């Protein structure tokens, strides 16, 4: 199994509070991704990173920001959580750009915003 951990695994927070999710990898892969999974939507890309301090937006990036100061860590921040951000969040890594290598996923973080 790819060495990917996510923390926390579960979190309940209140509307309007900031939340940070962490993804940590031990594979030294260059590319890292954050997805959210919602019923009826499959997985949707929030943000991704193609190197330290190099990030870009995905299809559902509004309300989220990311940072990557080290190869192994990719942080996702919800600046002011809303109920629509209740979801399961998955981090993924890949050795090369998507397509030329497969993405491996972390165990997921279940976030509930009340």
Residue 102 near other proteins by CB under 8 A: yes
- Decide: is 109 part of the binding site for other proteins (CB under 8 A): no
Task: Work out whether 30 is an interface residue with other proteins (CB under 8 A).
Answer: no
Shortest CB 38 distance to other proteins, Å: 10
Closest separation in Å from C-beta 18 to other proteins = 25
The separation between CA 8 and the C-alpha centre of its own chain, rounded to angstroms, equals 12
- Give whole-number Cα distances, 17 to 22, 64, 94, 100, in Å: 17, 13, 31, 38
Tally the C-alpha atoms within 13 A of residue 11's C-alpha that lie toward its C-beta: 24
| 8 in contact with other proteins (CB under 8 A) | no
CB 23 within 8 A of CB 106: yes
The one among 11, 30, 44, 65 contacting other proteins by CB under 8 A: 44
63 near other proteins, rule: CB under 8 A: no
């Amino acid at each position: 199994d790819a060495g990917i951990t996510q923390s926390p695994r579960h979190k309940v927070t209140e509307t309007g509070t900031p939340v940070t999710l962490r993804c940590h990898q031990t594979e030294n892969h260059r590319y890292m991704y954050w997805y959210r999974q919602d019923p009826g939507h499959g997985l949707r890309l929030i943000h991704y990173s193609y190197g330290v301090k190099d990030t870009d937006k995905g299809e559902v990036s509004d309300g989220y920001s990311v940072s990557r100061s080290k190869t192994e860590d990719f942080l996702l921040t919800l600046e002011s959580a809303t109920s629509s951000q209740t979801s399961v969040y998955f981090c993924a890594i890949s050795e090369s750009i998507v397509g030329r290598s497969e993405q491996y996923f972390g165990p997921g973080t279940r976030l509930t915003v009340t």
